[in-house]
Amino acid sequence: MAVQTPIYLDNHATTRCDPRVMEAMVPYFTTHFGNAASRTHVFGRVAEEAVDKARAQLARAIGATTDKEIVLTSGATESDNLAIKGAARMYRDRGDHLVTVCTEHKAVLDAHHALEREGFRVTFLPVRADGLVDLDELAAALTDQTILVSVMAVNNEIGVVQPLERIGRLCKDHGVLFFCDAAQAVGKVPIDVEAMHIDLLAFTAHKMYGPKGVGALWVRRKNPRVRLEPLFHGGGHERGLRSGTLAVPLVVAFGAAAELALNEMPEESARLLALRQRLWDGLRSHLTHLHLNGDWSARVPGNLNVSFAYVEGESLLMGIHDIAVSSGSACTSASLEPSYVLKALGVDDELAHTSIRFGIGRFNTTEEIDFTIARVTEVVHRLRDMSPLWEMVQEGIDLKTVHWAGH
């Protein structure tokens, strides 16, 4: 069967909206267009009922006991900022110390940097070579001034799943709030905010086959009751934590996407694991000098992050232009910086520049994976054949022992 290109393998960046989600959402643009805060007429009440249903679907997806703990936002970035800044400012009288991890999403890291400018002290923990947090180091970082620990559930680049239950237990034992950015986790791996002792959890629709522009922050209401200082002020929507008219169609879609993901997770996970294994086995059977980034077993099913030694990353991306993936370099106007996540794992700059993140998702097929194996293999062989370094490696020369002229 002919494969239609381009192939989309960048499902950690965003996902295609599931047609079933679209079907649930569309009537709320046209027929049921009311404002969910307008309770005096039927249009508003229909919208409010739809939002309440979506809230319940979202709560179930993360194991929350009540849908009243769900605060609707514009996405995970806003949820991250509301959780981190809201908690830090609310509990400043208890302490001024925050703990997070150096491989967190930029929304989390930059929110902490903003709080440093307000006078908070932040500990940015390193990770082990497999991308996981060292729990002893986390425990050692906590002081009587620590008010919040922020650790993401699943890393957006290398797909590793952190030991949330153990982190949550540690935070609970120390009386510290635990915030988790679960944008890459909800709907893909089981999340249970109660069992994992999480106090604040951010997630978003567009990573689970819903639309862009809507997310949520789960805020624990008891044991302990978590309070936040809002970022926005206005009409007091979302229990005063997030003022602004709700995007009802998007909220409806978010709920539908969460319910689908939760119901289909066992079979979808098994299918994605099989596709990932096929991709990894296929690449390894044709190519040498491959480096897997991040732990193999503690990993979300659809993620494969691989470095292809002795290949220039940008050339590889251009060579496989009919496959949508992301590289291990962040393109900025001034420079081509290797991924800070890969650097934190101890991956050297040259190898980090050659890394590709494959994000396998719901709509990918076996044929697409086979096409990807063949195309990547062909391009890597071609680029290595052009590389003098590869020639030296083939001759058995250890490049680390070479003294280069001019150095």
**Annotated active-site positions, please?**
331
How remote is the C-alpha of 124 from its chain's centroid? 18
| Phi and psi based region of residue 193 (left: phi greater than 0; alpha: psi -120 to 50; beta: remaining) | alpha
Element (H, E) at 71: strand 70-73
Amino acid identity of 358? F
What's the N-to-C CA distance of the chain in angstroms?
52
DSSP bridge pairs for 324 = 8
Do the strands 70-73 and 97-101 form a parallel or antiparallel pair, or are they unpaired? unpaired
Confirm if 58 and 67 have CB atoms less than 8 A apart: yes
Identify whether the C-beta of residue 309 lies closer than 8 Å to the C-beta of residue 293: no
CA–CA gap between residue 344 and residue 335 (Å, rounded): 19
Please answer whether residues 151 and 164 qualify as being in contact, where contact means their C-beta atoms are separated by less than 8 angstroms. Answer: yes
Q: Which amino acid is at 164?
A: L
Neighbouring residues of 254: CB distance < 8 A, sequence distance ≥ 6: 54, 58, 205, 210, 211, 214, 215, 216
Please give the backbone phi and psi of residue 342, each rounded to the nearest 5 degrees, phi first. -65, -35
